[in-house]
Chains A and B, each alone.
Chain A
Amino acid sequence: MIAATDVTKRFGDFVALDHVSVDIASGSLTALLGPSGSGKSTLLRVIAGLEAPDAGAVVLEGVDVTAVPAQQRDIGFVFQHYAAFKHMTVRENVAFGLKVRKRPKAEIRAKVDELLGVVGLAGYQERYPSQLSGGQRQRMALARALAIEPKVLLLDEPFGALDAKVRAELRAWLRRLHEEVHVTTVLVTHDQEEAMELADSIVVLNDGRIEQVGAPRELYDVPANDFVMGFLGPVARVGDGLVRPHDLVLRADPDSGTIEAQVERVIHLGFEVRVVLELAGGDRVDAQLTRHEAEELELHPGDIVFVRTPGSGPRARPTISLA
């Protein structure tokens, strides 16, 4: 287990972490999710020992490592921009941690070949990082981190520098890898979809504080506050409350508790149809319908419809999670 207790970290006047406490279960894949400047990367770097906290403690698998330097923590760390050793071949990169630990040469060779097979880079041993694509470099960095058989694997926006397609591939691949290797993994991301897709558990951070901790579905369905709700998916503000666009129900006729609205635009996104509405009060919200629902209503710009929010009537639709 990774336990951070009451961790505070300041950079000058900026408070990056404000009395943060969190427990991360062994063998889990946990995402630290938040906007930039929320403290998620700082928390990861404090766990790694790359930043020293101003106050608080970090415990890895029962050992207080607060005063232990990074090189003795037995962690694997993967950086957003790969941090590949540019003057070394792929083999030398992956072997680095083992060489530093003075393992026998034959053992290092075998281990490196095995790991490069796992990350799909067999045959690339003698290449230099400059001869690899971004996705390949990041997989090399993962192999390098895993080579030392770390107690925990820490990933700092590992897919942030990659294009969308490679990112999606690597996500799926990382999830499978985690199922095979089962090392406690902490992933920093600002992408809620990435967190929901990959993680067993999500820690939502904002302004150096933890807003909520829970399973992806739990956070989506029962957000602790407006910030978490807004960060985990699109929201529409109706009156004083926030709702998910897909929880809005449109009716052709008024009913008790419905709000009148005018259709401004109808956007067809394949299966999903987004309807931009101007509510009677002047607020503008997006409603998300299925293609079937939209066709039944025969919506056109300028039409008047009646909106029912989840809490506004007896037949309110149960919340359906997209996760």
Chain B
Amino acid sequence: MGNLLLIRRLVARDLRRRPAQAALLLLAITAASATLTMSLVLHDVTSNPYEQTQAATRGPDLVAQLGGGPTFSTGSGGQHTGAPPGAHGSGPRIHVATKTQVAAQASALIHMRGVTAHSGPFLIAGAVLKVRDLAVAVQLQGRGQAPAAVDQPEVTTGSWVRPGGVVLERSFASALGVGVGDVVTLNGRRYPVVGLAVTAASTPYPNLCFTGGCQGSIPLYTGTIEGHGNGLGWVTQADARFLAAAAGGPPSYVLNLKLAVPARANTVATAYDNAHQQPGSPSLMSWQTIAGGDALLVTDEQQVLSVGAWLLGLLAVATVAVLVGGRMAQRTRQVGLLKAVGATPGLVSVVLLAENLALAVAAAGAGLAIGMLAASLIDSPGAGLVGTAGAPALTLSTAAEVVGLALTVALAATLVPAIRAARTSTIRALADAARSPRRGTGLIKISARLPVPLLLGLRLVARRPRRAVLGAASTAVTVTGISAVLAFHNMGDQQRFGNAAGLGDPVISRDEQMLLVITVVLVALAALNAAFTAWATVLDARHATALTRALGATPGQVSAGLAAAQVFPALPGVLIGIPLGIGLFLAANGNPTATAPPAWWIAAAALGTLVVIAGLTTIPARIGIRKSPSEALGQEA
């Protein structure tokens, strides 16, 4: 009990004495905890909106494609990000089925055991949609003006199809930047947009995987259009027939089916597809597959957040380790006093650990709260679904994972210094002897051949190699994040501008927003870390720099030397971070054809990082050399 009271008092007093350091530690761990919380609570967040959309649209449990056109597949499974045009889906396999065959296939499906309702088959017309300077492939379903029993798209704006008018899927219209009243051309014919609608029968733009595969070149029989993703729309049956005839080629149809046991949709689709492999056979897609495609917007977001949480966690370890190293040095005398009055090394270790663990738990709590709040701001399922996601739920396992991350960060950075401090001899600790600088023989020899600022910088690095390693690690983590963002942005640009369509991708846009936020947090934390490390170096090197000035080094040389001491470790950090970031992007992307960003982007990011680090160091360095050498030497003597 007495020990607990002692620990509590010491922790409380130390926190009061050094609030800025405690705040920085809290901030670093909170950022990682909040990001992890967001990633965890977003799990399954789109289930609710998909169910709501399915209910509102009388959504099918199975969607069959008939007519022997290209088989469909879905962009679900988190593989959307990074898939370049043409790389996704099974690609078009053209088969010809006669109208009689289609009718027979539809009849067989409608009468399949377990099917309770159906709508269709509806003719699908492939078309080139043009608006402004955009040209994009679109799949248009021919629909009756009366509501369908299964899959009646929910009109969110405007009205349902009418002759000479087109209804566009809402997320597609959003990417096109068109609304009700705008006019588009379909295979050269002008159509006013009469409505916007959502459906549960297919994944929304840009993951529509219908005829012609998910993305890429779409055979339209009137020519090929390169585009990222197909759009979906609805026209009257007469207009669909007209457009299909203009496109040429064999007709294709969709048939929507309701099952008595919707949960069996996946099993039924798989069994049916396995049993009907011959060319021209229908293929089936279950509602679960479609829901997976709908969730891409959020699952990709989750993936980004998860990677971000790891990066922030690693950065937090580096930040906390620098802070803890500095604080342990300041607490040497306290360690000596505790041991002198009989505290065991174990108790001393607990005292030293307790503070950071307490801060870690507080940071985890803050991270959970912030993460929950932030998640509710970014859980929109997108324009492809109606309804809203339910409030993100905090489960026990989520809380345990977040607290676990926070404690791991604190322990990873604190355990070794705490044990080392506890093992220090009592006499030495009581004398509060400053930690002797290390002697990096090789670096000292090399530095003798360098200009004065670099000489001073390299020698400062050699004095505190652990700090240099942590600085390098911090830079490497930050540059990893920046490089990954650049690679992702490059991919987004390629998809936006590398094709004729030039359309935005809501999934990539959402991911880019997430990445931007994570990168800003990462860079801000790294900047704080760099400034703090620089300040720690300035304080630690007060005597050395004052002496160097007494021997004739100018303030500019010393200031530049202090900046160089931060830039030297940052250099390997940058060199490691760039391939790590690109590698991380490629690994997370899972796409072998994804490319690295242009070299000049990387070079600019690397150079910018080094300049920022040098700049951040300049301020503490200038403050540090304000004192005259006489004053500084007097204090240190």
Do A and B interact with each other, yes or no?
no
Contact residues of B with A, CB < 8 Å? none
